[in-house]
Amino acid sequence: MDKKGNNQDETHEFRFLNERVVKSIWKDFIRAIRLVLVIGGLAGIAVWLFFWHLKPELKDELNKSLKGTTATEMTDIFVTTEATVSNIENQCGINAGPYTEEQMEKMVVLVEYGIEENKKEVPGIVMGKNNAVYILLYNNELKPEQDVVVYINGMPKKAKVNNVSSDYKLVIVKIDEGDIAQDEYNDVMVSSLAPGKEFDTITQVILVGNPLNRKNTVEKGRLTLEENIVSVLDAKVRISGTDMKAHTNERGFVFNEEGYLLGISTSDELSEKVNIIDIADLKTYINRLLNDKKIKYIGIYGKEVTDEVVKTIDADMPYGIYIYNTKEDSPAYKAGIMNGDVLVSVAGREVYTFDEYLSVLNECQSKQSVKLEVMRKGRDGYKKIGYEVSVGELD
């Protein structure tokens, strides 16, 4: 072969060898990438398993981060769900019920406060324990940091008022870990909320409270058809009647037959029968107080616009929340929302009921600016008006 041919063969061989070298390097590179991916995948699984076996609140935070949530608030120690207000160990909503009457009595404790010559006693209910014990009272006299005494099985325990909401008459009393013996702590029964809207499906109820000589009384009765909807700050509360005879200023707690908490009993000088405040309507506020969080609010008092309202009062009234007052110096008050406005939208979401309104409000952060839309009646009918409101916190 001539030189030209030899040169072609050499060039061809060089290209062939070069191709083999390139292919070899490429295969090594692919192998390295695969190895990195396998190691990364195994590491990811290990991290996932690590977090999965951590406490539930850390799993919640991990889930939030994966979903891109930018929540800045602390994880709840206690979690209010449709099924339960409970401690960290039971926050999945798996309840130990049904409960016996003896267990229900253990859930209700006696709280004593006031000076020696004017001491008062009221029942409280255990809402959670996490080394400390947390007790709910329905009371408008106690103040934050006030010293009280809690009687558990007749034994006095030092305690302190941990949180108060005067707007809802809710008080959380805390027994610190060092003020209760381990065996007594273990014996404390934590109450669980009844699942769903129990008032709609039951008639039989059990009242525990009205303490006499530091001992609970247990009374059984039935719900009646009497019902009243009371407007409170940023919410509504349902009060149902019973056939149980009332005692003056009686306070206690009402359970269904399975021992799940339904509500707070109440009566006054004018009451002939015991009434029940539906605790499900207050659970948002109870939950925040249990977790040492301020209650978020906008500051309206109102009523839901129903078909009956439209039919009998104002055929042109839009559906939403009719505002008849605003709390002085509240975000709603400062924004200029007026009595007679009908709230129809919060943060871009339509609201027709207080449940929907609270659902949106609870997703907002304190001091967050949100847009409220109301319908205001004028000479030419209702017109939509928008407001920017900063979500407030109750002291």
pLDDT of residue 92: 36
Question: Which pLDDT belongs to residue 319?
Answer: 96
Asked if pLDDT for residue 128 goes beyond 70, the answer is yes
Query: In the predicted model, what is the mean pLDDT of residues 69-86?
Result: 42
Query: Residue 80: its pLDDT value, please?
Result: 46
Residue 28's H or E segment, with its range, is helix 3-52
Question: Quick one: pLDDT at residue 201?
Answer: 72
Residue 332: φ, ψ to 5°: -65, -40
Residue 63's pLDDT is 38
Question: Binning pLDDT at 50, 70 and 90, where does residue 104 land?
Answer: very high
Summarize the confidence of residues 34-56 as an average pLDDT. Answer: 57
CA–CA separation, 119 and 123 (whole Å): 14
Superfamily grouping for domain 85-187 = Trypsin-like serine proteases (2.40.10.10)
pLDDT band at 23 (very low <50, low <70, confident <90, very high): very low
Q: Check if the beta carbon of residue 134 is closer than 8 Å to that of residue 98.
A: no
Cα four-point dihedral sign 380, 386, 391, 395: negative
Asked if pLDDT for residue 228 goes beyond 50, the answer is yes
**pLDDT on residue 14:** 31
Mean per-residue pLDDT, 91-100: 62
pLDDT band for position 30 (50/70/90)?
Answer: low
Would you say residue 220 has pLDDT above 60?
A: yes
Instruction: Report the C-alpha gap between 49 and 39 in whole angstroms.
Output: 15
Q: Is the pLDDT of residue 19 over 50?
A: no
Answer whether residue 117 shows pLDDT above 60.
yes
Listed range (83-92, 157-166, 228-237) with the worst mean pLDDT: 83-92
Q: Is the dihedral of CA 121, 127, 133, 138 positive or negative?
A: negative
Least reliable range by pLDDT among 3-7, 105-109, 141-145: 3-7
| Cβ neighbourhood burial of 312 (10 Å; 0-12, 13-18, 19+) | exposed
Separation of alpha carbons 174 and 58, rounded Å: 24
Going by pLDDT thresholds of 50, 70 and 90, the confidence category of residue 195 is confident
Tell me what percent of the residues of the chain surpass a pLDDT of 70.
72
Mean pLDDT across 127-153: 94
Mean pLDDT throughout 5-34?
Answer: 45
- pLDDT reported for residue 353: 95
Burial (CB < 10 A; 0-12, 13-18, 19+), residue 61, is: middle
Paired tokens of 349: 């979401």
The answer as to CATH 3.40.50.300 being correct for domain 199-289 is no
Dmax over CA atoms of the chain, in Å, equals 126
- Fold that domain 294-393 belongs to in CATH: Pdz3 Domain (2.30.42)
The pLDDT tens digits for 311-326 are 988 999 999 999 999 9
What pLDDT sits at residue 115? Answer: 86
Report the pLDDT averaged over residues 322-344: 96
Q: What is the pLDDT of residue 49?
A: 55
Q: What is the mean pLDDT of residues 57-62?
A: 40
Residue 202's pLDDT is: 75
Confidence of residue 46 (pLDDT cuts 50, 70, 90): low
State the sign of the Cα–Cα–Cα–Cα dihedral 343, 346, 349, 354: negative
Tell me the pLDDT band of 2, cut-offs 50, 70 and 90.
very low
Arithmetic mean of pLDDT over the chain: 80
Q: What is the Cα–Cα distance from 33 to 43, expressed in whole angstroms?
A: 15
Q: How confident is the model at residue 213 (pLDDT cuts 50, 70, 90)?
A: low
* CA 365 – CA 88 distance, rounded (Å): 23
Q: What is the pTM of this model?
A: 0.75
